[in-house]
Amino acid sequence: QQVIQYIYFQQQNRMLQKFLTYCNQNDIAFILDEIQENLKELMMDAYANFIFKNLMQNCSYEQRFKVLMKILPDIVEIACDKSCLLYTSPSPRDRQKSRMPSSA
């Protein structure tokens, strides 16, 4: 569980995020294997959810599907958590003004 030690602290987390942008699929598979039992907690942690986001952006479709199946039983709790990326990384669309005419 060496990877877990780095995920929860800001400085080490940033180093790991940089590593994820350059690593290969074997590295990603290794990291996913290390963290698979902690996915729910990672997604709900203020720093660790960024690692999860980077992993999902760089992993294969098959790896993404395995992760989804793993977190599926907890998806509602994860989605409602304020630390979850649903809250920390709004879509650029969410920042745009609505193009719908007002009903006033």
Rounded to an integer, what distance in angstroms lies between the CA atom of residue 70 and that of residue 32?
11
Rounded (5°) CA angle 54-87-97 = 110
Q: Quick one: which of 40, 3, 45 has its CA closest to 20? A: 3
Query: Can you state the percent helix, strand and coil of the chain, rounding each to 5?
Result: 75, 0, 25
Comparing 100 with 47, the larger pLDDT belongs to 47
Task: Give tens-digit pLDDT for 33-89.
Answer: 988 888 888 888 877 888 888 888 888 999 999 999 998 998 888 888 765 554 444
* 93 has pLDDT over 80: no
Say if pTM beats, i.e. exceeds, 0.85: no
